[in-house]
Amino acid sequence: MHRSFVNKIIICVVFFVCIGQNISCAKNSQEVKKSESVNVVSKNNEEIEKLGRVLSSLSDRAKEAIPNGSPEEFLSDLHAVLDAEKEFSSTDLSPYFLIDKKHNVGSDYVPKNLISVKQNELWNVSRNDLSLREEAYKALEALSKAALDDGIKLMVSSTYRSYSYQEKLFARYVSEDGLELAERYSARPGTSQHQLGCAVDFGSITEDWDETKMGKWVYENAADYGWSLSFPRGYEDITGYMWECWHFRYIGKEACAFQKKWFSNIQQFMLEFIDAWKNS
């Protein structure tokens, strides 16, 4: 995180405190107006202080990824993301839910309202047992329609995976490649984004997929429909996994824009921030 951004947060805190002190000296005839202004100032002051605490709790690499900017603008964008979250199902885990090698779900967790992802005029599928939660399914429809308009039919290769499915898959990879290597490209059960029902593996699931016509189109357009690349190249120490050019997670358009603008377009940094913000 650039030092000037931290300094702006500190300056804003001082600025709002000074405003509050000045307002408290207003005449009695302005008492109502003063009270309303103090409430606004107090809320802004508290949020900027909280922003400073949360940003400070992030990893050094996450801090370095955050560009210079206005704390007020950052907070405004954050609230747009949190407001968008209210449109998701309130009876299920949020699409922003942080799941990784340190944060997991239980063996009994199954997303609600899973919809089968079958072969149709919008996309091809690699198997017949695929499914996604409702929000992700609708976003896949929108993405696929846009791709078709450009002459590309998407291939959906993997979607929701149950705890037991992931358990068997991980065990197979361990038997084939050993634990150390398997953990670099496969999630232990309960820690896979696929269990949330919001992740899709596209295409051939090979390292050259991003160079295909389909891959290039998805990379250029996915964020416009709420899809975010989960495991980018060069961030294995952050995400815990090798680069997977084919693995995208649905988080919504607002979160994709927030990620790109404030977190160097790294999903893990943004989700860690949101998790820390909610729990601060």
Using DSSP, state whether 26 is helix, strand or coil: coil
In whole angstroms, what is the distance from residue 200 CA to residue 140 CA? 9
Residue 83's CB is within 10 A of a number of other CB atoms, namely: 10
- Note the pLDDT tens digit of each residue in 167-178: 999 999 999 999
Tens digits of residue pLDDT in 34-75: 444 445 456 788 999 999 999 999 999 999 999 999 999 999
Residue 206: pLDDT above 80?
yes
- What CA–CA distance (Å, rounded) separates 202 from 159? 9
pLDDT at residue 44 in the model: 83
Q: 39-62 in b/e burial notation, b at 16+ Cβ within 10 A?
A: eebeebbebbbebbebbeebeeeb
pLDDT in tens, 216-275: 999 999 999 999 999 999 999 999 999 999 999 999 999 999 999 999 999 999 999 999
- Tell me what pLDDT residue 16 has: 40
